[in-house]
Amino acid sequence: MNELPERLIPESPEPTLRSRSEGAENWLYRPITCLDHGFVYLVDYMGNDDAIVQAARVSYGKGTKRVSEDRGLIRYLRRHSHTTPFEMVEFKFHCKMPIFVARQWIRHRTASVNEYSGRYSEMSNEFYVPESSVLAKQAKGNRQGRGESLTAEQQKRVLALLKEDYDRSHGHYREFIDDMDFARELARIGLSVANYTEWYWKIDLHNLMHFLRLRMDAHAQYEIRVFADAMARILKDAVPIAFEAFEDYQLNSMQFSGLETKFFETHSWPMKPEAAEKEILEAFKNKRETQEFLEKLKKLNLISSS
């Protein structure tokens, strides 16, 4: 795979009539390093905060509205889940990530994707080696997450085995390619999902914000959170008003179910931890929902310490 230059900006002396975002312009072809070999950078974009307002008002140009009114409109749209004006803004990224991250990522089926092909080109000798600090045991009560850290000795052993496996599998891959002229589409099958891939990923702002809301969450896998955080840095500069509204009404907000709302209305607050857990479980009849609601109550300081 080609190495990304430090920053390569095509010179364009010609003026443009398109909507410009100075924040987005500053991020074009400027890579953000992710994990050990990965990156995210902005290739192109269409639209800015003004474009959201234009779409909502079905008008041309900036119109006669004041900036403060534009901000209020964008915040209203986010607050009330009006999505189509945000779909008028698009971003195209070049991303490089481990294959297992890409397989999580691709589940967001709202983008146009073109991925590096191991059938046409040779796979790299780049594999994700985690930092010791992220090596942990399986979480108790969460089938997807991590729990307490491994011991220092276990971490050292994990890293040694991973590197050993990577060297062996890529050595076999090179033997298939170089010594046997084995078909590339089959030679790759022994490689680990820690092997790096890359793609171009184009998505509209509404669906990008949905992706970020899910993948920046504390419960998302660490490795994909790194890439989501990188894109959020770009978005915060590219569409600052829309991103502020996204932070306020989606990213940093809480949603309450009908059961939770009813429980709020029928109980006194704050509650003691043991009583809250017992009464919520009795009302919800579900341990997972109970624990999730308890987490929300703790964030709101509605569970007393005594």
- At 60 the pLDDT is 45
Q: Which amino acid is at 77?
A: L
Cα(225)–Cα(12) distance, rounded to whole angstroms? 34
Judge if the upstream peptide bond of residue 15 is cis by omega within 30 degrees of 0: no
Q: Is 35 left (phi over 0), alpha (psi -120 to 50) or beta?
A: left
35 and 62: one domain? yes
31 and 118: one domain? yes
**13 DSSP assignment:** -
- At 55 the pLDDT is 92
Cα(42)–Cα(221) distance, rounded to whole angstroms? 23
32 and 180: one domain? no
- At 21 the pLDDT is 96
245: domain CATH number?
3.30.1360.170
Residue 103: CB atoms within 10 A of its CB come to: 12
Question: Looking at the domain assignment, is residue 6 inside a domain?
Answer: no
- At 144 the pLDDT is 78
- At 89 the pLDDT is 98
pTM of the model: 0.90
Question: Looking at the domain assignment, is residue 305 inside a domain?
Answer: no
107 and 235: one domain? yes
Structure token digits, residue 262: 């009813």
Q: What is the mean pLDDT of each run of 10 residues along the chain (306 residues)?
A: 56 74 96 98 97 82 64 95 96 98 96 97 98 94 84 97 98 98 97 98 98 96 98 98 98 95 93 93 94 93 80
- At 296 the pLDDT is 93
- At 145 the pLDDT is 85
Question: Looking at the domain assignment, is residue 111 inside a domain?
Answer: yes
Q: Is residue 215 within 8 Å of 102, Cβ to Cβ?
A: no
- At 135 the pLDDT is 96
- At 80 the pLDDT is 94
Nearest to 173 by CA among 122, 129, 127, 126: 122
- At 150 the pLDDT is 96
Q: Is residue 48 within 8 Å of 89, Cβ to Cβ?
A: yes
Cα(79)–Cα(250) distance, rounded to whole angstroms? 8
Structure token digits, residue 247: 């932070």
Cα(51)–Cα(29) distance, rounded to whole angstroms? 22
Query: How many domains are contained in the chain?
Result: 3
Question: Looking at the domain assignment, is residue 278 inside a domain?
Answer: yes
Q: Is residue 74 within 8 Å of 245, Cβ to Cβ?
A: yes
Residue partners of 42: CB distance under 8 A and separation at least 6: 24, 27, 28, 29, 30, 91, 92, 93, 234, 238
77 and 224: one domain? yes
Q: Edge-to-edge strand order for the sheet containing 32-34? A: 32-34, 38-46, 90-98, 196-204, 111-115
Is 215 tagged catalytic?
Answer: yes
Judge if the upstream peptide bond of residue 270 is cis by omega within 30 degrees of 0: yes
List 71, 109, 188, 215, catalytic entry: 215
Host domain of residue 163 = 148-190
167 and 27: one domain? no
- At 107 the pLDDT is 95
37 and 79: one domain? yes
266 and 170: one domain? no
Residue with tokens 């509404």: 206
Q: Domain end: 227, 251, 275, which one?
A: 251
